[in-house]
Structure 1
């Protein structure tokens, strides 16, 4: 049985966008969807305030209405909800700890109890041991969109990121565009003779060959996915923001060894300034 897509939900527009994205993904994969709303628990041994009971009732009502709306607009969708007591990032991580993908609105707007503010989504993505998809609610439908783009660095341990992107491309019956950003050496920048086209071309060809060697063993398991490699010169942050404005889904890696909540500057830029859903996949 497919693992559920866990959606952090608080009734805000970004969390509704996250639920909608998860529903569309579930229709491609056959996975169920679970909306999870975390709230601060009531202290045991003290009277339960009427306001607390009312907030819980409102939360259940909001979750129920959202579930029914998703079922009505996505026929055949398996979707339910869960109300959890505790700190939002911790409860969301527990809800998806068995390997599910966690889907969050990347910018909260003070919805139900204000539980999914942008900092909460980023903290959760930075702590997760499984993929987290951050969804924006203001994508411009007029922008042309590639289906799946993978922002990839060279190095070991990136197989989980590559496989996630390949699987997403296969589900969408689309090509996978692999983007790698590189900056010229500082010696080139301050030297009296800037690098010519021949030097740049040689480096791009060398990087492309290394990317192909990294991708090919995993791509063989996804023969229907067409690969396009794009080696670009410039700041990774700027390039990924540009990609996040045009991708249907942008897939990025995150090193597990980084400090809690640290996604890296390029990933932060893509999440904050881009318009597409961004999948953050942890790797060694």
Structure 2
């Protein structure tokens, strides 16, 4: 893999809330994010000389993670505690679209995308550990992640894939013919075909990433898929994945009691619809750590983090 180019920070914006896990841009270039106390925030004028304007648009009553805008302006929210939600950003009204799968409560919904046909696709990171114990799931490598589909107007999820290794970010291909899915524990992106002769099948998309992929974001069909790398690859985890399940379970239990501190690095990549990495930006000594999301707006990249109390504004990559 080619040497990464520098990830250049321009500004750090502290928020009135902690852990902006996902960041997305609306058509006006404003940033939407969810914080730990359940609020959905909108950030405007991030690159101006003064302090940005921060508005509270809605409150989920849980812990919002992945966000996705509907074409009508409503917000699709994966809430780790409440399930799949839809928020009217004009009124602040939040309603539950679905919160169970075959009688099992939907916990740790991570990311969602809305397809042109009205279907909503959702990832579940773990069926064994809640968000508060995400590290235990990575260490144990439970392989209980799922990909779900909610049909247009439906109330019940269809299970499309199981056995995923901490399923996380989702993005549609330019022609909406397939999904790109992040498997954080496996350090890879997986393709799930929606149309054509391979519909319903999965296959490798981008393997051996230089870190653990988290949220995915795409500005539109012309843009690449941006991938946040929440942390570097960990050789000890690569060794542990070959251990017996009982050994992994014991390691996972131990991880629940070990204080976590992220590495002092930050990195993102962008991939095209053939799975090729077209940008790799990294900073080895970063004040902004555990990058769980990235989105691109004209003139800059915006990074989110489950760990940090704010967002980072960075320079965009050079044109290629």
TM-score, length basis structure 1: 0.27
More strand by share: 2
Which structure would you say has the larger Rg? 1
More helix by share: 1
TM-score, length basis structure 2: 0.25
